[in-house]
Amino acid sequence: MINGPGLECLEGMLLVNGPWRGGTGGAGLALVVGSHYVAGVDLFSRSWDALLAAVAELREEDFARPSGCRGWLVRDLVCHLVIDAQDVLITLATPADTEPTRDAVTYWEVSDTPPSGEDPLDALTVRLAAAYEEPRLLTFHLDDVGSAAGRAARLADPALRVGTRDEVLAAGDYLGAYVLEWTLHHLDLVARLPHIPGPPAEGAARSREMLEKIAGTPFPASFSDQDALLVGTGRRDPTGAERAELGELAGRLPFVLG
């Protein structure tokens, strides 16, 4: 998930944070499939499909522009999405036979220190992106792996227990957590590309809800979902008026997710 610049790409840290996979072998035990699992899978698909469609609309010159992830160009962010898609495929193929230890909200590790972009794994992403040389090769790889991740998510049993990062989640919760990842990175993608459509409204609303649960308090009602996500994760600083509305919450920002 989640991240990098790496999350600053604040949630971008997710990207390479993932070594990583925990989980034990064995088939997942039967769980009661709650409606929130199904909703999580549905929003995962809609958010991911929208993000892939947005990448497909990029012009060649767009790849060399800065993204909303600190220290990353758009091409670096797209490369990160390739790794994210691989992460999804690996996790859905890593069943666990123990009780879940995390859910869609507690999946996230939270810090108040934005990434500097100097982490070796963040730097590796930049080198990998540069190795593609031509944007079409990068978008081809994302379309290939990303489509497979989308199919795997739609085919997954939401109640299956899966292992990732030495934790166990129901697949529905794992995919639900990625709604926040996709939404934040979609905002990162379009940060300086106004001609590219932003994330789906329903994904942004759900992502705000998850961020508010992480924060333990709601953001002001006057904040749009996108502004709550951008300010809450440190992707932009609040204005003076916004800081006044945030009150004590302003002193706790940002919530850096990894």
DSSP characters over 154-196: HHS-TT-EEEETTEEEEHHHHHHHHHHHHHHHHHHHHTT-TTS
**Bridge partners of 2?**
13
How far apart CA 163 and CA 89 sit, in angstroms, is 12
pLDDT at 112: 81
Residue 168, beta-bridge partner list: 163
Residue 151 tokens read as 């199919």
pLDDT of residue 117: 64
Half-sphere exposure (CA, 13 Å, Cβ side) for 40? Answer: 27
* Cα R_g (the chain), whole angstroms: 17
Closest CA to 37 of 181, 179, 208: 179
- Residue 15 pLDDT: 31
- Average pLDDT per consecutive 10 residues, the chain (258 residues; last block may be shorter): 43 33 33 56 96 98 95 96 98 97 96 74 90 96 98 95 97 96 98 97 97 98 98 96 97 94
The predicted structure's pLDDT at residue 89: 98
Q: Is 168 exposed, middle or buried (0-12, 13-18, 19+ CB in 10 A)?
A: buried
What does pTM read for this prediction?
0.86
Classify strands 161-164 and 110-111 as parallel, antiparallel or unpaired.
unpaired
In Å, how far are 18, 68, 135, 225, 251 from 221, measured between CA atoms?
A: 34, 24, 40, 9, 18
Q: What is the pLDDT of residue 20?
A: 29
